C-alpha cells in the first residue's frame, strides 16, 4: 500500500480542449492534439497556476498529446519545471464507444457503466478500475514530490480521472461523480494528507478560456 505523505496540495488539471472534444466525440485512449481553442485555454490555465502556486511545484501528466501539450505550457509558466508522465493518468478506456459522437448516447442516458462504477464500458474499463489506478498514481507522485521538498503537485489529466479523485476525496461518494462539472483547462484543488482529504476548489476555469 502506498504511504500517503503528511500533507500535499494536489491541483488536478483537466487538459485543454482537443480536436476530438471540439468534434463532440468520446475521447479516451485515442490521441488527438489540442484544438485552436485548446491552445488558448492551455495558456490561460498556466497563467492561473503561476499566480496560485506559492513555492516549487512538481508536475506530472498523462502521456496523451492533449494532456502533454497542456502540461508543457504549464511547465514553462512555472519556470521550466521538469515534466513527468504516467500512463495511469490516462482517460477511462471507452472500448467500443471510442470515437462515437456523444450525442448518439444521449437517447439511452445514463448507461449502466455510468450508474454502476463496477460495470465496464463495452469492451473497455469500469470507473472502479479507473479510480484504483489514478488514486495509486496520485498518491505515489505526492510521495515523490514531498520527498523532494515540494508541497504542491500539479496533475494534468482528463475528465474521468479528475472527477474520480474529487469523488474519492469526498469520502467515496460515487454519486458526486456525475454531479460535478469539470471543464477543459479547469483546476480542481485537493488537500490530501495521511489523516485527511479535502476539496478546496472545484472546476476553476480561467476567465480568458471561458470566452
Residues serving a catalytic function are: 15, 91
Q: State how far the alpha carbon of 128 is from the alpha carbons of 74, 107, 108, 194, in Å.
A: 29, 25, 22, 22
Residues 20, 37 contacting (CB under 8 angstroms): no
Grid cell, residue 80, equals: 521550466
The pLDDT tens digits along the chain (211 residues) read 577 888 999 999 999 999 999 999 999 999 999 999 999 999 999 999 999 999 999 999 999 999 999 999 999 999 999 999 999 999 999 999 999 999 999 999 889 999 899 999 999 999 999 999 999 999 999 999 999 999 999 999 999 999 999 999 998 878 878 889 999 999 999 999 989 999 999 999 976 544 4
> Mind listing the domains of the chain with CATH numbers?
8-210 (3.40.50.1240)
Size (the chain), residues: 211
Around Cβ 158, how many Cβ atoms within 10 Å?
26
Whole-model pTM over 0.85: yes
Q: State how far the alpha carbon of 146 is from the alpha carbons of 3, 57, 130, 140, in Å.
A: 12, 10, 24, 10
Amino acid at each position: 500500500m502506498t504511504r500517503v505523505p503528511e500533507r500535499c496540495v494536489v491541483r488536478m488539471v483537466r487538459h485543454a480542449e482537443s480536436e476530438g472534444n471540439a468534434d463532440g466525440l468520446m475521447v479516451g485512449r485515442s490521441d488527438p492534439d489540442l484544438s485552436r481553442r485548446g491552445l488558448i485555454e492551455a495558456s490561460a490555465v498556466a497563467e492561473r497556476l503561476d499566480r496560485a502556486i506559492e513555492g516549487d511545484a512538481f508536475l506530472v501528466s498523462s502521456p496523451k498529446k492533449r494532456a502533454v501539450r497542456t502540461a508543457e505550457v504549464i511547465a514553462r509558466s512555472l519556470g521550466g519545471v521538469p515534466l513527468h508522465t504516467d500512463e495511469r493518468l490516462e482517460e477511462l478506456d471507452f472500448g467500443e464507444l471510442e470515437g462515437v459522437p456523444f450525442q448518439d448516447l444521449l437517447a439511452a442516458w445514463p448507461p449502466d457503466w455510468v450508474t454502476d462504477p463496477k460495470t465496464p464500458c463495452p469492451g473497455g474499463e469500469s470507473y472502479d478500475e479507473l479510480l484504483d489506478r489514478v488514486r495509486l498514481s496520485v498518491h505515489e507522485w505526492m510521495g515523490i514530490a514531498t520527498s523532494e521538498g515540494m508541497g504542491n503537485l500539479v496533475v494534468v489529466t482528463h475528465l474521468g480521472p479528475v472527477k474520480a479523485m474529487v469523488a474519492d476525496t469526498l469520502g467515496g461518494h460515487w454519486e458526486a461523480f456525475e454531479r460535478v462539472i469539470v471543464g477543459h483547462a479547469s483546476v480542481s484543488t485537493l488537500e490530501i494528507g495521511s489523516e485527511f482529504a479535502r476539496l478546496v476548489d472545484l472546476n476553476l476555469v480561467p476567465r480568458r478560456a471561458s470566452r
